[in-house]
């Protein structure tokens, strides 16, 4: 009987160890994912802080030229759906690794190999390709390491770690440019090294064997609202990404050190707001979060457009900088679009292809809007650009109210 009891308990014991090991492995992978996001956040933060000043100081771009530059910069995003479909067999983690390495190569090129404007564009596109490869698979990886009821909170944690990296980047830029007098080239090379470290952290994750998966392009009527919201989001985001810092640089003469300070404020605020947004997604739902975002963005657009007309230059720059901080602090709302897709997906294998399709659709707007924005600025003034952005925000508000989460019966759970 004793032998029999031993034989009966051993499988349970092993099963318990198996569950413990699986939990450890899952937590270990999530921890590595967070560390990778931390280093990538530092690298991305360096680029965010200095790139627009780099263009202004080194290449003396006009508003029209700055708008047209977004066409090659965003071109990799337009084709990301095809690129990720071709790399689908690698799995999300390996795609993210290659994306970070490509971004690192782009930063290295910007730092060491950009004597001519045309050459700079090539390395800028390489960086853009890498970052756009990482963008749609990041929420997919994060959700694959989470449970359905905690998607928002876990993605909020991922975003928070990235923002901690951003704070480190902004401190580096502030000290480096203000006191150490480092060059743009040295900053880009530093970012390159950090992207390589981030890729190595992903390399330590448990990836298993690459799956044999067919090339997937996903276009389902069920995801139509997500596609439309992605296009509108791309249009609105690109106006802010391109022209909000350009206003502060060209109209109010802000330097990289000041953008570093703004970046620190944004990152500190966003650590809290991203966790809060994650919890709001879990408890209040995607429709509430995206509707609230659209309403706030409408007000922010008006702040950008009319502050200088109503207030003195000193007050106006503070208000516009405040709009810049609030706008960037709300970037985590993008999580709500990702969790919306995950929750309505007919097949979980649709999630990454659908997110990559959304990214490509965003970049149709991202390539067109800055061109017209630059021309509109040159013809009428920067205020007109943000009035147009307010109209887009209003459309976003209307469409966000149409979101409904209705799980598809019999959904496939393949990955």
pLDDT score recorded for residue 10: 46
Q: What is the CATH number of the domain that holds 258?
A: 1.20.1250.20
**Cross-strand bridge partners of residue 412:** 347
Rg (CA), the chain: 22
Regarding pTM above 0.85, the answer is no
Question: Is residue 414 assigned to a domain?
Answer: no
Question: Is residue 355 assigned to a domain?
Answer: yes
CA distance 364 to 155: 26
pLDDT score recorded for residue 214: 52
pLDDT along the chain (415 residues), means of 10: 42 48 62 92 92 90 87 82 80 92 95 87 95 84 72 74 87 92 94 96 74 59 88 84 88 87 84 79 88 92 91 91 88 82 82 78 80 89 92 92 69 45
Question: Is residue 183 assigned to a domain?
Answer: yes
pLDDT score recorded for residue 303: 93
Residue with tokens 């990836």, as numbered in its chain: 207
| H/E run at residue 214 | none
Question: Is residue 411 assigned to a domain?
Answer: no
Tokens matching residue 240: 């802010």
Tokens matching residue 38: 């931390």
Q: What is the DSSP string of 267-306?
A: HHHHHHHHHHHHHHHHHH-HHHHHHHHHHHHHHHHHHHHH
Residue 32 structural domain: 2-400
Residues contacting 245, CB < 8 A, separation 6+ = 52, 259, 324
Q: How far is CA 214 from the centre of its chain?
A: 26
CA distance 286 to 403: 8
pLDDT score recorded for residue 278: 79
If you count them, how many residues does the chain have? 415
Question: Is residue 198 assigned to a domain?
Answer: yes
End-to-end CA distance of the chain: 45
Long-range contacts of 102-105 (CB under 8 A, 24+ apart): 102/126, 102/127, 102/129, 102/130, 102/133, 103/40, 103/43, 103/127, 103/129, 103/130, 103/131, 103/134, 103/195, 104/43, 104/130, 104/191, 104/192, 104/193, 104/194, 104/195, 104/196, 104/199, 105/130, 105/192
Residue 348 per-residue DSSP state: G
CA distance 114 to 121: 9
**Angle at Cα 398 formed by Cα 395 and Cα 401, nearest 5°?**
145
pLDDT score recorded for residue 315: 93
Long-range contacts of 60-64 (CB under 8 A, 24+ apart): 62/378, 63/246, 63/250, 63/374, 63/377, 63/378, 63/382, 64/374, 64/375, 64/377, 64/378
Sort 28 into a burial class: Cβ within 10 Å, 0-12 / 13-18 / 19+: middle
Residue with tokens 């092993």, as numbered in its chain: 14
Question: Is residue 409 assigned to a domain?
Answer: no
Q: What is the tally of structural domains in the chain?
A: 1
Question: Is residue 347 assigned to a domain?
Answer: yes
Q: How many CA atoms lie within 13 A of 309 on its CB side?
A: 9
């Amino acid at each position: 009987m004793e032998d029999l009891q031993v034989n009966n308990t051993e499988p349970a014991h092993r099963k318990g160890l198996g569950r413990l090991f699986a939990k450890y492995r899952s937590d270990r992978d999530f921890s590595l994912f967070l560390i990778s996001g931390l280093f990538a956040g530092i690298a991305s933060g360096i680029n965010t802080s200095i790139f627009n000043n780099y263009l202004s100081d080194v290449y003396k771009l006009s508003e029209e030229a700055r708008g047209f530059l977004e066409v090659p910069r965003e071109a990799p995003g337009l084709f990301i759906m095809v690129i990720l479909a071709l790399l689908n067999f690698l799995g999300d983690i390996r795609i993210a690794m290659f994306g970070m390495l490509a971004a690192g190569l782009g930063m290295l090129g910007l730092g060491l190999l950009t004597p001519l404007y045309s050459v700079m564009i090539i390395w800028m596109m390489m960086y853009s390709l890498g970052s756009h490869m990482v963008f749609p698979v990041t929420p997919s990886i994060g959700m694959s390491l989470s449970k359905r009821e905690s998607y928002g909170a876990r993605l909020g944690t991922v975003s928070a770690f990235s923002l901690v990296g951003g704070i480190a980047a902004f401190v580096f830029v502030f000290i480096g440019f203000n006191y150490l007098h480092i060059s743009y080239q040295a900053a880009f090379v530093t970012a390159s090294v950090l992207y390589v470290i981030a890729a190595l952290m992903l390399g330590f994750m448990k990836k298993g064997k690459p799956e044999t998966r067919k090339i997937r392009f996903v276009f389902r009527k069920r995801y139509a609202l997500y596609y439309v919201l992605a296009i509108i989001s791309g249009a609105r985001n690109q106006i802010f990404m391109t022209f909000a810092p350009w206003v502060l640089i060209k109209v109010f003469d802000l330097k990289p050190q000041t953008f570093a300070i703004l970046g620190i404020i944004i990152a500190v605020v966003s650590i809290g707001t991203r966790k809060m947004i994650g919890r709001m997604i879990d408890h209040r739902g995607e429709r509430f979060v995206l509707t609230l975002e659209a309403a706030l963005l409408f007000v922010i657009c008006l702040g950008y457009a009319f502050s200088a007309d109503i207030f003195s230059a000193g007050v106006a720059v503070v208000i516009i900088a405040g709009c810049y901080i609030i706008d960037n602090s709300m970037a985590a709302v993008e999580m709500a679009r990702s969790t919306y897709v995950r929750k309505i997906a007919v097949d979980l294998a649709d999630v990454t292809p659908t997110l990559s399709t959304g990214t490509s659709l965003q970049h149709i707007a991202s390539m067109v809007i800055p061109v017209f924005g630059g021309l509109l600025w040159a013809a009428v003034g920067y205020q007109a650009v943000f009035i147009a952005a307010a109209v887009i925000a209003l459309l976003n508000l209307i469409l966000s109210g149409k979101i409904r989460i209705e799980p598809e019966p019999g959904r496939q759970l393949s990955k």
